[in-house]
């Protein structure tokens, strides 16, 4: 069961990456702003995930980390789509 939830959270992050990369880029003016928001969100999640006092909340932190990994993976896939 835990493996299924991890895969779902990874795909949820991939879906969020598609939303974050397509909706603000419609005008072409929000690319820098959306990139800054994504990097800030990623760094805040890193602060939460790798804090030492959160040892007892392993499942929730693992899900948040999988969503973060999915977002990064989705942005790489979009970058490869634009490069080809």
pLDDT mean over 41-58 = 74
User: Per mean pLDDT, which range of 5-19, 43-57, 67-81 is the poorest?
Assistant: 43-57
Rounded Cα gap, residues 84 and 22, in angstroms: 17
**Domain range holding 70?**
2-83
> Assign residue 51 a region: left if phi > 0, alpha if psi is -120 to 50, beta otherwise?
beta
Number of domains in the chain: 1
Is the model's pTM score more than 0.75?
no
Q: How confident is the model at residue 79 (pLDDT cuts 50, 70, 90)?
A: confident
> Which residue is it, tokens 């979009």?
78
Instruction: Retrieve residue 73's tokens.
Output: 């993976």
Q: How confident is the model at residue 83 (pLDDT cuts 50, 70, 90)?
A: confident
Instruction: Retrieve residue 6's tokens.
Output: 């991890």
Rounded Cα gap, residues 38 and 11, in angstroms: 17
Nearest to 23 by CA among 38, 42, 5, 45: 38
């Amino acid at each position: 069961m835990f493996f299924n939830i991890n895969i779902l959270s990874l795909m949820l992050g991939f879906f969020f990456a598609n939303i974050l990369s397509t909706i603000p880029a419609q005008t072409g003016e929000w690319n820098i702003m959306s990139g800054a928001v994504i990097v800030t969100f990623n760094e805040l999640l890193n602060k939460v995930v790798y804090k030492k006092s959160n040892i007892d909340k392993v499942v929730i932190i693992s899900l948040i980390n999988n969503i973060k990994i999915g977002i990064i993976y989705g942005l790489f896939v979009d970058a490869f789509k634009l490069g080809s």
